[in-house]
């Protein structure tokens, strides 16, 4: 029983020793093209582990925003049908 407890403690300690990379914002990825491209490449190389990470989501979102901005789309106010289309 004591060996099992020690093994579980070691496993829990090692699980907490993951990579501590800072989470960058979408705006940061929009202005840092090289880092955005590198992060997207990492995410595509290991989608099972990284695809849901905050940095992957922010890097892909930044790339999507830049693509939409290049196309010249504008934001429109939402139409609320309950208020008579105002």
Tell me the whole-structure pTM to 2 decimals: 0.63
What are phi and psi for residue 30, nearest 5 degrees?
Answer: -65, -30
CA 77 to mean position of chain CA atoms: 27
- One-letter-per-residue 3-state SS of 48-61: HHHCCCHHHHHHHH
**pLDDT per residue as tens digits for the range 17-52:** 446 789 999 999 999 999 999 999 999 999 999 989
Residue among 70, 69, 68, 61 nearest 29 (CA): 61
Write down the domain spans for the chain: 22-72
The residues, any chain, with a CB within 8 Å of residue 73's CB and separated by 6 or more, are none
Q: From CA 56, how far away is CA 44, in angstroms rounded?
A: 9
């Amino acid at each position: 029983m004591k060996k099992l407890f020690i093994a579980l403690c070691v496993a829990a300690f090692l699980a907490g020793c993951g990579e501590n990379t800072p989470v960058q914002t979408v705006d940061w990825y929009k202005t840092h093209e090289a880092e955005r491209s590198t992060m997207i490449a990492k995410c595509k190389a290991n989608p099972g582990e990284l695809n849901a990470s905050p940095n992957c989501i922010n890097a892909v979102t930044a790339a999507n925003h830049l693509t939409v901005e290049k196309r010249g789309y504008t934001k429109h106010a939402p139409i609320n049908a309950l208020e008579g289309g105002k």
